């Protein structure tokens, strides 16, 4: 009985021991599990923290690099901006200098052109005055020409006007009274004429015809130099137009004036009285 009891007690004790062991094992396992879980959690937290730290570090590095890049870019932009400002200032200064020089040159040109314009205006004014004078002179010449034409046409139409006879470009007057050579010339001068100057054979024949071979004074004399015969206009007698009569001139110093008669020219004393013939130009 006691054996059974002991056996029963032994069995009960053994079972309790097993239970305790089992519980201890379970507690140990649980503790291990908890420790493992805690370790795992710690590792996870460490890994997470490390990852976060790495990520944070990488993010900070990126931000730092970005900040540095931004600073570098900002510095470059400042340098470029400063360079652009300097270049722009130099350009503006250069242009301003060029514009100033061009302005001064333009002012000089304007001054020169103004001066030239004034000179041109003066020249134009002078030319205008000259033109007006020429117009007036031309008008006067036109009037004179018309008057001469009218006079010539009048003389051509009527042949004789107030005792004057027209021939070619001259008018001739034969006196009806007699005077010495000097007084005869004065008579012609008062009427805008002078004693006749014979220039060619045709005029010589014309004079002989209108004088009917009567002796008349002509405008030829050697009063200044004996033997040097000159016309009243101061020209020397042309050797090609000499119409001296036979043996003429034959004066010995007291025959200084010439007259025309039937045989040609002859020299006579100037104080002799003869008729005379005046000549004046009426048209050229």
Domain of residue 241, CATH code: 3.10.100.10
Number of DSSP helices (H) and strands (E) in the chain, helices first:
3, 9
**94 within domain boundaries:** no
pLDDT digits (tens, 9 = 90+) for 153-190: 554 443 455 789 888 889 999 999 999 999 999 999 99
Q: Is residue 204 part of a domain?
A: yes
- 184: in domain: yes
Q: Which pLDDT tens digits describe the chain residue by residue (284 residues)?
A: 444 444 555 556 666 666 666 666 566 556 666 566 666 666 666 666 656 555 566 666 777 777 888 888 888 888 998 999 999 888 888 888 888 888 888 999 999 899 899 999 998 999 988 898 888 888 888 887 777 666 555 544 434 557 898 888 899 999 999 999 999 999 999 999 999 999 888 999 999 888 887 899 999 999 888 888 999 999 888 766 778 988 888 877 789 999 998 888 999 999 999 999 999 988 64
| Domain-located, residue 171 | yes
Burial class (CB in 10 A: 0-12, 13-18, 19+), 208: middle
Q: What domain count does the chain have?
A: 1
23 found inside a domain:
no
Residue 206 sits in which domain range?
A: 162-281
Element (H, E) at 266: strand 264-268
12 domain residue, yes or no: no
DSSP state of 235: P
Of 253, 188, 247, 254, residue with least CA distance to 217: 188
Residue 111 lies inside a defined structural domain of this protein: no
Q: For strand 216-221 and strand 257-261, is the pairing parallel, antiparallel, or unpaired?
A: antiparallel
Contact 185, 195 (CB under 8 A): yes
Tokens of 79: 């340098």
119 within some domain: no
């Amino acid at each position: 009985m006691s054996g059974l009891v002991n056996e029963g007690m032994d069995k009960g004790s053994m079972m309790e021991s097993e239970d305790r062991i089992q519980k201890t094992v379970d507690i140990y396992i649980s503790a291990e599990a908890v420790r493992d879980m805690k370790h795992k959690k710690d590792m996870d937290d460490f890994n997470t923290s490390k990852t976060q730290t790495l990520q944070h570090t990488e993010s900070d590095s990126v931000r730092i690099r970005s900040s540095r890049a931004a600073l570098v870019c900002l510095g470059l932009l400042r340098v470029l901006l400063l360079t652009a400002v300097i270049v722009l200032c130099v350009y503006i200064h250069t242009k301003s200098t060029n514009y100033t020089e061009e302005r001064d040159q333009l002012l000089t040109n304007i001054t020169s052109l103004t001066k030239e314009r004034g000179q041109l205006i003066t020249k134009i004014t002078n030319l205008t005055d000259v033109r007006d004078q020429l117009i007036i002179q031309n008008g006067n010449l036109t009037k004179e020409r018309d008057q001469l034409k009218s006079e010539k046409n009048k003389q051509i139409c009527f042949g004789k006007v107030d005792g004057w006879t027209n021939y070619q470009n001259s008018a001739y007057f034969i006196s009806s009274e007699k005077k010495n050579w000097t007084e005869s010339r004065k008579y012609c001068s008062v009427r805008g004429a002078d004693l006749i100057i014979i220039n060619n054979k045709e005029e010589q024949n014309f004079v002989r015809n209108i004088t009917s071979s009567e002796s008349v004074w002509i405008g030829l004399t050697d009063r200044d130099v004996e033997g040097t015969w000159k016309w009243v206009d101061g020209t020397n007698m042309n050797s090609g137009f000499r119409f001296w009569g036979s043996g003429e001139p034959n004066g010995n110093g007291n025959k200084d004036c010439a007259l025309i008669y039937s045989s040609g020219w002859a020299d006579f004393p100037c104080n002799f009285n003869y008729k005379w013939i005046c000549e004046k130009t009426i048209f050229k």
